[in-house]
Structure 1
Amino acid sequence: MDDDTGILIFLGVGVLVLIGIIVFGVLSTRRKRAATQRTFTVRQASIGGQPFLESSDLDASDKRQEELFRATYLIGGSLVLAWAGADGDRIEQEVHVSRISRSLRAGWPQAKLGLSVYFREWEGSEFPVRFTVKGRDKVTSVELDATGVRAVDAAQNLVWSAPWERLLVSNGTDIVLSDGASKTIRFEPLADEPELEEILIKYGTMKQMHF
């Protein structure tokens, strides 16, 4: 076998391998798009006395699973939740879905997506509230109310602000917020105040800004 024949055989094998990879990718994508079986699980959680539902980690590229999640919990739809009250008594209540929010789970390069379901009965109940944070850009605390988010310094001077409808949130090892234009802030919530991250996820819009 001469050199030219060997090269042609090598190129032919390479083409077949490439075709196989493409076909496998197309079939995998079609299976995801046509999926009717849920691969996620859902658990009930509570923060600040407010019950909500959250999904297990989802592959951020698997749009079909997010569609199935949203079809399961339609905005305006109702369901019955049960949880333990402050005195330990069982509370059972019909609640109504008001919003579904996305959040960042895990980290690079295997970042995952989380979905949370919130209910009309607690919509806006968190406000107004203020949290101390470990921030950069002189930020020492974050204030939240029905209109949006304000970050202030130790002298209570405004450092940054954004209305909820423009707020972009990236929650990783710390939190990055964007006003939807060009200005961002970065800070870490205190370990004993997980409510801050959850409220930002609930009312903001997720945008990956960590990597």
Structure 2
Amino acid sequence: MRDLDDDTGILIFLAAGVLVIIGIIVFGVLSSRRKRSATKRTFTVRQGWIGDQPFLESSDLDASDKRQEELFRLTYPVGGSIVVSGADTEGEPIEQELHVSRIGRSLRAGWPQAKLGLSVYFREWEHSEFPARFAVTGTDGVTSIDLDASGARAVDRAENVVWSAPWEKLTYSNGNDVVLGNGSSTTIRIEIPDGEPDLEEILIKYGTFRQMHF
């Protein structure tokens, strides 16, 4: 017959295990609630440029922290205005009031700790980038991407359009390369040359982020 002390020890061990599991669950729930109800911004914002066009971009955000993205959008509501530093035609520093037209989302870091970035774009610079052509290296023999106010087209060396998408259907995922979709099963992958960040920023500005890298 098993000793009573042995039974008591087993019960204590099992009870301790249950308490540990309960503690983990409670901690997770409380942590999730704190994120959802957070009022303090954990992100920072810096100013970037697409050519002469100013925009704002956040520091990396935890992809699972929806509250920080919500706070970002509350801080920079579409239609709202903000004073941004710039330069006049003679290069002298000035401050100008600009109006928020879009918020862009992008991939900032890779698997398994994926981070997101958020960007603010302004009405005064809408469609100022077009038309434009960017040299790239891509699947299906793509050698360049053409952009205009209607959308994007991937072109091969013979000037054949091998892929296209209107902006309202264009999806992108920016990782070590850029994956582009057009609302169908057709995607292409492109590599943007170093020192040419404008193409990626324009895709982020007018397209829709969809994680397609992992």
Distance 1:86 1:57, change over 3 A: farther
Tell me which residue corresponds to 1:158: 161
1:42-81 to structure 2, matched below 5 A, reads 42-81=45-84
* Residues in 2 aligned to 1:134 and 1:15: alpha-carbon distance in whole angstroms: 56
| Residue 135 (structure 1) shift | 1.0
C-alpha displacement at 1:82, in angstroms? 1.4
Residue 203 in 1 paired to residue 206 in 2? yes
User: Aligned partners of 1:55, 1:201: CA distance in 2, in Å?
Assistant: 13
2:147 alignment partner AA: L
What TM-score, normalized by structure 1, do the two folds share? 0.94
Could you state the TM-score of these two structures normalised by the residue count of structure 2? 0.93
User: Secondary structure, in 3 states, of the residue corresponding to 1:124?
Assistant: coil
RMSD, aligned CA? 1.5
Larger radius of gyration: 2
Q: Is 1:41–2:48 an aligned residue pair?
A: no
Q: Distance in 1 between matches of 2:62 and 2:87?
A: 32
State the match for 2:105 in structure 1: 102
Structure 2: gaps of 5 or more residues = none
How far 1:87 moved relative to its partner?
4.2
Output the CA distance in 2 between the equivalents of 1:172 and 1:128. 25
- Offset at residue 56 of structure 1 (A): 0.6
Distance 2:169 2:142 in 1: 20
Query: Does 2:131 correspond to 1:128?
Result: yes
SS at match of 1:61: coil
> Offset at 1:204?
0.6
- The aligned counterpart of 1:147 is 150
1:93-119 deviations in Å (ceiling 9; x for gaps): 111000101010011111111000000
Q: Give the whole-Å Cα distance in 1 for the aligned partners of 2:179 and 2:7.
A: 57
Query: What is the identity, as a one-letter code, of the residue corresponding to 2:186?
Result: K
Deviations 1:57-92 (A, max 9, x none): 111111111111100111111111112356431132
SS of match in other structure, 2:124: helix
Q: Secondary structure at the match of 2:140?
A: coil
Structure 1: 5+ residue stretches without partners: none
1:118 matches 2:121:
yes
Cα distance, 1:12 vs structure 2: 2.5
* Cα deviations by residue, 1:19-72 (Å, 9 ceiling, x for unpaired): 111100000011011111111111111121000011111111111111111001
